[in-house]
Structure 1
Amino acid sequence: MAGRCPLTARSTVPWRDATAMLLMQGYRFVPRRWRRSGSDVFELRLLGERVICVHGPDAARLFYDPQRFERAGAAPRRLQKTLLGAGGVHGLDDAAHRARKRMFMDLMTQRRIDELVALTRREWLDALPSWSRRDRVVLFDEARVVLCRAICAWAGVPLPERDVRRRADDLTAMVDAFGAAGPRHWRGKAARRRCEAWIEAVVDDVRSGRLDVSEEQALDRIARFRDVGGQPLDRRVAAVEVLNVLRPTMAVAYFVVFMAIALHEQPDRARRLRAGDDEDVERFVQEVRRYFPFTPFLGARVRSGFDWQGHRFDEGTLVLLDVYGAHHDGRVFGSPGVFDPDRGPAAGDSGFELIPQGGGGFRDGHRCAGEWITIALMKTVCRLLTGAMTYEVPAQDLAPDLRRIPPKPRSGFAISHVRASASTLD
């Protein structure tokens, strides 16, 4: 591997705000600044604020040091009003974060993950006859419906059939607003308000005894959770945390499209996966998570000032960890612009190289509690796409727009002549 980029001493913070450039360049913005700076630590100004960007496995390890960084106050209000909500686990630190994170991790037993996988597979197979009767199916849209039904059933959230598509639309709109300004952001804000009102009412029903759900299900666990002070969560915060189970699962629809693109562009790989073992599928899924864009960067604030690699990190400074650029760094992933599931783990893999859903420890750090679910669902859908159905891919532009956060092809990956495979019908 090539040597590391030389690190330069701290320079004067650029006076020109780069927010407009970020919105224009999307995923390319931070990696371009990294290459231009010649350093794994560089500064810029976003929304009028001095921001330090860090890049690479060493930076990721630093970023997840709870003694150096905190998440409280790191998420901009526009993200709280769309993607994250206010008061949830993403903005907590120390004992409060550990207790809330433990609540989520307790849901992630292998048995419960297997149950979600089974629900998703059943919903997908149940949808196949309907898809086969249509001339054209948009995979992104239909995957959202499948995932919405499955995750609500798994979490214990009632979902009448008449509400399925509008709930799927709203949950997706919150994800789609992540890097947006204008109409997409406004739609995400409105969707967040509707979803929180919906789930607040459901939480009230659980707490009053009007709705009976299993104590193993996320809805019951969150509705009855008590924080480190022994108090139940505010009903709005409880709704935010329930949505922190539903919404990220809906985001798997983006990865479904990315997998479909990779399978279409590498038909030999699709045939291999059809007959492959779990290890082959796992490698494919992990390469999809590395190669395709989803999380551009992650943010935290400096807890107390320190110096690192010749740069000063002042208390309260917003720091962004480059995720997309790190996954396309040739020092860590050889030939990063090539989609190659056979590449195996990154050289020196320590858990801080592949970070699409964060780094650090699952239970004690800020790594996403839903990462196991994401991987399990992606593996399941990969097997469904390669073994449970056949379809054709009409001509369309399948290139994700890297200016759009999060990205997907404009077509949403249209397919036609969908048929259940013979083995599925047996």
Structure 2
Amino acid sequence: MPAFPIDPAPDASLAFLREGYAFISNRCRRLGSDAFHTRLLGRPVTCASGAEAAQMFYEPRRFTRNGAMPKSALKLLQDEGSVATLDDEAHRVRKAMFLSLLGPDRAPEVARLATEALRESLAAWSLQRDERVRLHSALHAILCRAACAWAAVPADAARIDRLTHELAAMINNAGAFGPRNWQARLRRKEAERFMAGLVEDVRAGRRHPPEDSPLAVIARHRDADGRAMTPEVCAVEMLNILRPADAIARFLAFGVLAMHRHPAARDALRAEATPGPRTHAFVQEVRRFYPFFPAVGGKAREAFSWRGHDFSAGDWVILDLYGTDHDARLWPEPEAFRPERFLNREPDAYALIPQGGGDHAVNHRCPGEWVTIETMTAMLHVLATEVAYDVPDQDLGISLRRMPALPADGMVITNVRMRT
């Protein structure tokens, strides 16, 4: 007898697309287990949810990401040769480079640039009060400009605008199949060619970005084998530095939606003259409550046992990120938006996992998490305290079938005016 129950469906791929973020947690509840066996895309897989499952999944060196994600998604989100596809010493050395660029020491710099760009846009919007601002796309454009300035990516406004759309296409179509995905992959290739050209210019001495800028660091990085990355792999990692602009824009759109639906939480932000513990708690609850990525997959690198089940090398396992962030054993009233749950509490590394869990340096946890939190904190405080705006009638529903998710109309605001 297997240690975990078996989903009776011969293949659950269509059910996964139909249920989206809730697919794993729905079956865990139905089957009365934190883990179950099923088939996706014709392949056997074990799906697991909860903090103990996250600890199992993020045990160092236990899983590889290679072969654990459909090619259609990998090609858009990370691409081959990226840090996410590496293991052991190769991963440690490449990840250390990312942490040097995105760690807690650098996060305030990114947040400052993004907040300055936000204030410029708010001032412009306040002069055109009848303009309807679709916040997700507008904030993505703001963040992409700021990220390019920080990363020392030189380009005119038209090229930055094109890069913004290329990055958005990567995220929006990662869960799609067929022509939409293929077209987005072509747009990614255009962005990669642009980035590879910049790297070649730096190496040839035609460009001289600041020594600590991402463009300079990535162009001159040497991997664990002592060799420089190819321009193509450098381009992949440059996009992985810039791509989180869309992720932060999504979180910010959810944050503005939360302020709209929870005025008391918005007032708590306004009570702080500068971003403080209540703003930080609000940001953490936005990251916990709203859907970001549904799950993450790994292939076992060697045999191991968990909860009475013997996993073999090569077994495919999917960890439920969204379901763990909504686990009632970890989060009382998980479907209630309660920022106060994070006051005077730093979340456990295996309980709050919208961007992965475990140790940033060792595991495949997003190195941009500090930048995400710092930038969200600064920008949401500005949106709460420095401007007023109206929220017109629109569809603010969030479909858990859409991956990645957003408010249906992208969180539209209008009649923006500066607060005194």
Same fold (TM over 0.5): yes
Q: Deviations over 1:27-50 (max 9, x none)?
A: 121111111221112111111111
Moved more, 406-415 or 98-107: 406-415
Instruction: Determine helix, strand or coil for the equivalent of 1:130.
Output: helix
Q: Deviations over 1:269-293 (max 9, x none)?
A: 2122112251001100000000000
Moved more, 182-191 or 374-383: 182-191
Is 2:194 aligned against 1:198? yes
State how far apart, in whole Å, the 1-side matches of 2:345 and 2:97 are.
33
Is 2:57 aligned against 1:63? yes
Instruction: Determine helix, strand or coil for the equivalent of 1:301.
Output: strand
Map 1:155-234 → 2, pairs under 5 A: 155-234=151-230
TM-score normalized by the length of structure 2:
0.95
**Which residue of structure 2 aligns with residue 296 of structure 1?**
294
Is 2:22 aligned against 1:24? no
State how far apart, in whole Å, the 1-side matches of 2:235 and 2:68 are.
21
CA RMSD of aligned residues (A): 1.9
**Which residue of structure 2 aligns with residue 266 of structure 1?**
262
**Which residue of structure 2 aligns with residue 246 of structure 1?**
242
**Which residue of structure 2 aligns with residue 282 of structure 1?**
280
- Which runs of 5 or more structure 1 residues have no equivalent in the other structure? 1-6
- The 8 Å contact of residues 138 and 413 in structure 1, kept in 2 or not, is answered as yes
**Which residue of structure 2 aligns with residue 329 of structure 1?**
327
Count residues in correspondence.
Answer: 416
Displacement of 1:182 after TM fit? 4.0
Instruction: Determine helix, strand or coil for the equivalent of 2:398.
Output: coil
TM-score normalized by the length of structure 1:
0.93
- The 8 Å contact of residues 17 and 401 in structure 2, kept in 1 or not, is answered as yes
State how far apart, in whole Å, the 1-side matches of 2:257 and 2:6 are.
43
Map 1:248-397 → 2, pairs under 5 A: 248-276=244-272, 277-344=275-342, 350-397=348-395
**Which residue of structure 1 aligns with residue 119 of structure 2?**
125
Structure 1 runs (4+) deviating above 6 angstroms are 345-348
Q: One-letter code of the match for 1:420?
A: M
State how far apart, in whole Å, the 2-side matches of 1:207 and 1:278 are.
42
- 1:328/1:94 Cα in 2 relative to 1: closer, same or farther (>3 Å)? same
- The 8 Å contact of residues 8 and 39 in structure 1, kept in 2 or not, is answered as no
Is 2:95 aligned against 1:101? yes
- 1:130/1:347 Cα in 2 relative to 1: closer, same or farther (>3 Å)? closer
- The 8 Å contact of residues 391 and 414 in structure 2, kept in 1 or not, is answered as yes
Displacement of 1:94 after TM fit? 0.4
**Which residue of structure 2 aligns with residue 3 of structure 1?**
none
- 1:119/1:98 Cα in 2 relative to 1: closer, same or farther (>3 Å)? same
Instruction: Determine helix, strand or coil for the equivalent of 1:229.
Output: coil
- 1:131/1:182 Cα in 2 relative to 1: closer, same or farther (>3 Å)? farther
Q: One-letter code of the match for 2:373?
A: I
- 1:345/1:48 Cα in 2 relative to 1: closer, same or farther (>3 Å)? farther
Q: One-letter code of the match for 1:334?
A: P
Map 1:46-85 → 2, pairs under 5 A: 46-85=40-79
State how far apart, in whole Å, the 2-side matches of 1:216 and 1:228 are.
20
**Which residue of structure 2 aligns with residue 4 of structure 1?**
none
Q: Deviations over 1:206-225 (max 9, x none)?
A: 11111110110111111111
Q: One-letter code of the match for 1:416?
A: T
Map 1:136-147 → 2, pairs under 5 A: 136-147=132-143
State how far apart, in whole Å, the 2-side matches of 1:37 and 1:347 are.
32
State how far apart, in whole Å, the 2-side matches of 1:15 and 1:390 are.
51
Displacement of 1:231 after TM fit? 0.6
Map 1:30-41 → 2, pairs under 5 A: 30-41=24-35
- 1:347/1:280 Cα in 2 relative to 1: closer, same or farther (>3 Å)? closer
Q: Percent identity?
A: 42
- 1:417/1:15 Cα in 2 relative to 1: closer, same or farther (>3 Å)? closer
State how far apart, in whole Å, the 2-side matches of 1:401 and 1:10 are.
29
- Which runs of 5 or more structure 2 residues have no equivalent in the other structure? none
Q: Deviations over 1:209-259 (max 9, x none)?
A: 111101101111111111111111011111111111000232211101100
Is 2:77 aligned against 1:87? no
